[in-house]
Amino acid sequence: MKAHQRKLDIRNGCVDLSHGSGGRAMSQLISGLFHEAFGNEWLACGNDQSAFDVGAGRMVMTTDGYVVSPLFFPGGNIGSLAVHGTVNDIAMAGARPLYLSASFIIEEGFRFSDLKMIADSMGEAARAAGVYIITGDTKVVERGKADGLFISTAGIGVVPAGLDLSAGNARVGDRVLISGTLGDHGVAIMSKRQNLAFETEIVSDSASLHDFVASMLAAGGKGIRLMRDPTRGGLAATLNEIAQQSGLGFRLQEAAIPVKPGVAAACELLGLDPLYVANEGKLAAIVAPEVAAAVLAAMRVHPLGRDAAEIGEAVADDHHFVQMATSFGGARIVDWLSGEQLPRIC
Amino acid sequence: MKYADEFRDKEIALGLARAIRSEADPEKSYRFMEFCGGHTHAISRYGLEDMLPKNVRMIHGPGCPVCVLPAGRIDMAIRLAERPDVILCVYGDLMRVPGSQGASLLKAKARGADVRMVYSTIDAIRIAEEIPGRAVVFFAIGFETTTPPTAVMIRLAEKKQLKNFSVFCNHVLTPPAMQNILESPDIRNIGRVEIDGFVGPAHVSTIIGTEPYEFFAEEFGKPVVIAGFEPLDMMQAILMLVRQVNEHRHEVENQYSRAVTRDGNLRAKEEVSDIFELRDQFEWRGLGLVPYSGLKLKRAYAKYDAEVRFDMNELRVADNPACECGAILRGVKKPVDCKLFGTVCTPETPMGSCMVSSEGACAAHWTYGRFRDHQQRRAS
């Protein structure tokens, strides 16, 4: 006789330790909530792993953890963020993302309704990006041992033949392009922090960038040296990393760097610099000077690059400084972030 | 951004820069100290040094409250936070300030001390209300600007009859420190560095007004121009100082007239004097003991005074002997003159006070301006 099992009470129920114990409750959570949200042929097989065919060529793999607080923020939640963040790490190699894994560490007492909302937006973000979440894991920990929910992911993608975007590729004279306004994600998160809450219309820029990257590659080809998505540490950290890895410096024009007035105002209030604030749907590209105009034009016709701008160039510098001409008429360094500007931004 | 961009206008800045260049006598040198960390930060952040002629030099003063907090007071706070019954509420930039032997509140927190980062004094009151079973201590620091909010908080705690709330008071005063800088032997006897004028505090002056500087300008014969923290404020103030020097005047002038009056904020001053009184002396990192430069709670408010309540012992810790912060804060030396600068002392691992907060002279130079050192070296 088949044992009767009560349906998951999504509206009022919450996760308890049995949902991580490997028993029937866990199986129900996985099939009733996650499979429903991610629905694809691989998950339907119900294996502990998923098999897929590998085409010829080079693959990329990445892994990422998400501990953002709060879990829900203007413009997204930890679920959509996990998909976008993983997809973007793959996309920065110029690769097409294919498959993701997702593992969930859930604190007991976490509401099913919140979990469903998060899983649904993960599924939606994956579908929109054309990737599949094909394997996963669920663990439940005691109350107080995790702050609601942590997600860790892995992602796999394929790189088009002949393409090699890498951090050491920048050359003196290359141009620095960014895809849009800086600091939106960080400010959206901060506006919802319990002890900081302020009103703003800024929403997170969280988005998958691989389609946008493909259109840039079509315009710039091998003239595109490398790309990075400036997440934690912001554009400042990204450019300092590239300066180190490519053995050169950068000179930026502050006046050319796009920042939304609401972001600038929030940063002013909190004593932050938008150059150090996290983004989740933006990229910085280092491109050869001869293709810069064409790539920028291609960026601007794409919805994710409407505010794209050329903001500076790579220069010879043994000290690997990122320097900036301030809009005020002076000069300064844009250094690495020191200390923690804001914990748990992604 | 409205009300901010107007004070960062490049064309007006270039006009002021031209005026400074044409009015500054090329035969003379002009050395002005900006007292406040906010000014130091603006100079570095906007690259103002590039806009001034070579003979107009800015000397960065000790006006960063985080920087001047001595290691001993940090050690005292760490000891307090390590008590299991205490929740210590601090502003974020205090977390990394080094105490003795590399200790910090951030490290104490990692080891289990309950240290919470707050953005406002109100947050600390809220925590005290929410957790009545634990003693909540607010780590109060800052110049005259941040003292009134602490006073208001004590009033609020009194009104709410909070029994688990107190303040670890580290509030300090601007005028005694300015005086100390000019009276130190480095300046007066050795005479290695002359200061020709002061850019006076912005926010501090909104509270205390311009009047307290009048004695100072008269006594020491130095011009003082109170200036706002925006870059155009700074440029205009520098021009006003150049003019005073050229005309052999030593007056208190108010560039920041949109916020500062002669008398300041009477209500705030009243609140502060109701609750606080002068300490005989207070230690400043880099300056040592400065007479009558710190505040403590009056006896009537002793129950809100963490030092009384927890019987805290005053700790004094010697700074690293190689650290040149004292000389840098007085304008006798520059950050690059210190052997520790950029070697063992960086914003990640600050040794001396000037590297602690982004408003400190060394941190500002390291973070925004150190490319100039290499340019100068190449040029020479």
Tens of each residue's pLDDT in chain A, 346 residues: 555 667 888 999 999 999 988 888 888 899 889 999 998 999 989 888 999 988 778 999 999 999 999 999 999 999 999 999 999 999 999 999 999 999 999 999 999 999 999 999 999 999 999 999 999 999 999 999 999 999 999 999 999 989 999 999 999 999 999 999 999 999 999 888 866 777 778 999 999 999 999 999 999 999 999 999 999 999 999 999 999 999 999 999 999 999 999 999 999 888 889 999 999 999 999 999 999 999 999 999 999 999 999 999 999 999 999 999 988 888 999 998 876 666 677 7
User: Peptide bond before A70: cis, by omega within 30 degrees of 0?
Assistant: yes
B342 and A CB contact within 8 Å: no
Nearest Cα of chain B lies from the Cα of A196 at a distance, in angstroms, of 7
Strands of the sheet containing A331-333, edge to edge, are A224-228, A284-287, A175-178, A309-315, A249-253, A322-325, A331-333
For the stretch A93-136, pLDDT in tens is 999 999 999 999 999 999 999 999 999 999 999 999 999 999 99
Region of residue A75 (phi > 0: left; psi between -120 and 50: alpha; otherwise: beta)? left
Contact A329 B123 (CB under 8 A): no
Distance, in Å, from the CA atom of A304 to the CA atom of B304, rounded to the nearest integer, reads: 54
Contact B123 A261 (CB under 8 A): no
Contact B45 A326 (CB under 8 A): yes
| CA nearest to A123, candidates A40, A243, A11, A216 | A40
Residue type at position B268? A
A19, A21, A22, A28 alpha-carbon torsion, rounded to 10°: -10
Q: Distance between alpha carbon B325 and the CA centroid of its chain, in Å? A: 14
A169 by Cβ neighbours in 10 Å (0-12 / 13-18 / 19+) ranks as middle
Which of A198, A251, A326 should be substituted to probe chain B, the one whose Cβ sees the most B Cβ atoms within 10 Å? Answer: A326
The pairing of strands B295-297 and B276-278 is antiparallel
For the stretch A224-269, pLDDT in tens is 999 999 999 999 999 999 999 999 999 999 999 999 999 999 998 8
B299, B301, B304, B306 alpha-carbon torsion, rounded to 10°: -20
Q: Which DSSP string do the residues of A111-164 spell out, in sequence order?
A: BHHHHHHHHHHHHHHHHHHT-EEEEEEEEEE-TTSSSSEEEEEEEEEEEPTT--
**Beta-carbon count within 10 A of B263 CB:** 11
Distance, in Å, from the CA atom of B172 to the CA atom of B282, rounded to the nearest integer, reads: 8
The chain A residue lying nearest B117, using CA atoms, is A195
Distance, in Å, from the CA atom of A133 to the CA atom of A101, rounded to the nearest integer, reads: 5
Q: Rounded to two decimals, what is the model's pTM?
A: 0.86
Across the interface, of A268, A333, A338, the residue whose CB is closest to B371 is A333
Distance, in Å, from the CA atom of A94 to the CA atom of A158, rounded to the nearest integer, reads: 9
Predicted-complex ipTM score: 0.79
Contact A330 B17 (CB under 8 A): no
Q: Which DSSP string do the residues of B258-287 spell out, in sequence order?
A: TT--SS--HHHHHHHHHHEEE-SEEEETTT
Cβ–Cβ < 8 Å for A87, A8: no
The chain B residue lying nearest A272, using CA atoms, is B358
Nearest Cα of chain B lies from the Cα of A141 at a distance, in angstroms, of 21
For the stretch B86-125, pLDDT in tens is 999 998 878 888 888 888 999 999 999 999 988 888 999 9
Q: Which residues of A touch B48 (CB under 8 A)?
A: 328, 330
Across the interface, of B47, B119, B123, the residue whose CB is closest to A330 is B47
The chain A residue lying nearest B10, using CA atoms, is A328
Q: What does the pLDDT average to over B327-346?
A: 88
Q: Which residues of B touch A320 (CB under 8 A)?
A: none
| CA nearest to A31, candidates A64, A2, A54, A8 | A8
The chain B residue lying nearest A197, using CA atoms, is B119
Is pLDDT at B285 greater than 90 in this prediction? no
B45 and A CB contact within 8 Å: yes
Nearest Cα of chain A lies from the Cα of B137 at a distance, in angstroms, of 17
Distance, in Å, from the CA atom of B313 to the CA atom of B72, rounded to the nearest integer, reads: 10
Q: Which residues of B touch A260 (CB under 8 A)?
A: none
Which of B18, B46, B117, B374 should be substituted to probe chain A, the one whose Cβ sees the most A Cβ atoms within 10 Å? Answer: B46
Q: For chain B, report the end-to-end CA distance as a whole number of angstroms.
A: 41
Contact A329 B14 (CB under 8 A): yes
Is pLDDT at B291 greater than 50 in this prediction? yes
Query: Can you tell me whether residue B168 is helix, strand or coil?
Result: strand
Is pLDDT at B191 greater than 50 in this prediction? no
B46 and A CB contact within 8 Å: yes
DSSP lists the bridge partners of residue B336 as: none
Contact B374 A326 (CB under 8 A): no
Which of residues 75 through 114 in chain B touch A, CB cutoff 8 A?
96
Which of A193, A338, A340, A341 should be substituted to probe chain B, the one whose Cβ sees the most B Cβ atoms within 10 Å? Answer: A338
Walk me through the domains of chain A, giving residue ranges and CATH numbers. Answer: 3-159 (3.30.1330.10), 167-333 (3.90.650.10)
Nearest Cα of chain A lies from the Cα of B371 at a distance, in angstroms, of 7
Confidence (pLDDT) at A341: 61
